[in-house]
């Protein structure tokens, strides 16, 4: 079964540094998402992306965050100047059509640790 | 902002018995509900979903019930198996194409032998 793949599985970064999290969505999926889960808390929506532009973003997704689909396969999340509170699991998800009778498919996540 | 709530952080059930996981929501605009299962070090895996036009959806051992008037849904697993031990997340989405998912805090299910 096709999978959403994320790299790296664990990223350790010094506070203030830039970090790029990478995702390869399922081929032929059209909608892409980033979510995060801070330890002990719920999974939270960050941003959705369709047709090479952001379709929705949460309050968490401030100017420090950006997303990009640089080629036909990768979908990236960049945090420009990381803060301690950015430490979390970051999940990428993709959706085939955007129709609500189908689920989003998630990757296994990247654990981001900010020191 | 707890639009989706799972009030039981954990549940322990004997193998072969029924597991019932509950979820409440407050946002009347939600019209599609999903259950995801999550193992440690893995991402959420889709389990089953239900549209607001239905009150029940069944897939093998898994059944989801939706009570719109009470804004409540539940996941029944019958019979429970040790491999079902995981964290179960309830999620909801509202109107709009490819709408974001709003998750509950999860319920950790342990199925004992």
Question: Is B98's CB within 8 Å of A55's CB?
Answer: yes
User: Beta strands A88-95 and A31-37: pairing type?
Assistant: antiparallel
Two structure tokens written together for A99: 């129709």
> pLDDT band at residue A2, thresholds of 50, 70 and 90?
confident
Residue pair B36/B101 in contact by the 8 Å Cβ criterion: no
User: Which member of B97, B100, B105 has the closest CB to residue A42?
Assistant: B105
**A14-48 residue pLDDT tens:** 999 999 999 999 998 999 999 999 998 899 999 99
pLDDT at B58 over 90: yes
pLDDT at residue A66 greater than cutoff 70: yes
- What part of A 53-112 touches B (C-beta under 8 Å)? 55-56, 58, 91, 95, 97-101, 103-109
pLDDT at B98: 64
Instruction: Residue A99: list chain B partners with CB under 8 A.
Output: 97-98
- Write the pLDDT tens digit of every residue in A73-86: 899 999 999 999 99
Long-range contacts of B24-29 (CB under 8 A, 24+ apart): B24/B70, B24/B71, B24/B72, B25/B71, B25/B72, B25/B73, B25/B92, B26/B2, B26/B71, B27/B3, B27/B92, B27/B94, B27/B102, B28/B71, B29/B94, B29/B95
pLDDT at residue B97 tops 70: no
Cβ contact, residue pair B34, A98, below 8 Å: no
Please tell me the least confidently modeled range out of A21-30, A100-109, B54-63, B104-113. Answer: A100-109
pLDDT for the residue A101: 76
- Over residues B8-48, the pLDDT tens digits come to 999 999 999 999 999 999 999 899 999 999 998 899 999 99
Q: Which residue of chain B has the CA closest to A9?
A: B41
What lies within 8 Å, CB to CB, of A81 at 6+ separation is A16, A17, A18, A64
Beta carbons within 8 Å of B107's beta carbon, 6+ residues apart: B6, B8, B9, B10, B11, B21, B22, B87, B88
**pLDDT value of position B1:** 61
In DSSP terms, which residues pair with A10 in a beta bridge? A111
- Cα distance between residue A72 and residue A74, in whole Å: 6
Q: Is B105 helix (H, G, I), strand (E, B) or coil?
A: coil
From chain B, pick out residues whose CB is under 8 angstroms from the CB of A106: 36, 43-45
* B91 contacts on A by Cβ (under 8 Å): 43
Asked if the C-beta of B62 comes within 8 angstroms of chain A's C-beta atoms, the answer is no
B7–chain A Cβ distance below 8 A for any pair: no
Q: For residue B46, what pLDDT is reported?
A: 95
């Amino acid at each position: 079964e096709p999978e959403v793949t994320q790299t790296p599985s664990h990223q350790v970064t010094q506070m203030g540094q830039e970090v790029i999290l990478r995702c390869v969505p399922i081929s032929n999926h059209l909608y892409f998402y980033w979510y995060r889960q801070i330890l002990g808390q719920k999974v939270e929506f960050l941003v959705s992306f369709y047709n090479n532009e952001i379709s929705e973003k949460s309050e968490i997704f401030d100017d420090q965050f950006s997303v990009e689909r640089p080629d036909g396969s990768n979908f990236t999340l960049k945090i420009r100047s990381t803060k301690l509170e950015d430490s979390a699991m970051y999940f990428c998800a993709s959706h085939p059509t955007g129709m609500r009778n189908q689920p989003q498919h998630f990757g296994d996540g990247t654990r981001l640790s900010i020191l | 902002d707890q639009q989706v709530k799972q009030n039981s952080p954990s549940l322990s059930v004997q193998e072969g018995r029924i597991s019932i996981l509950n979820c409440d929501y407050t946002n009347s605009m939600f019209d599609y509900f999903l259950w995801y299962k999550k193992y440690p070090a893995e991402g959420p895996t889709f389990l089953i979903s239900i549209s607001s036009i239905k009150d029940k959806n069944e897939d093998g051992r898994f059944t989801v019930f939706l009570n719109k008037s009470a804004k409540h849904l539940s996941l029944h697993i019958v019979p429970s198996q040790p491999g079902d031990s995981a964290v179960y997340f309830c999620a909801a989405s509202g109107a709009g194409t490819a709408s974001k998912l709003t998750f509950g805090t999860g319920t950790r299910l342990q199925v004992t032998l």
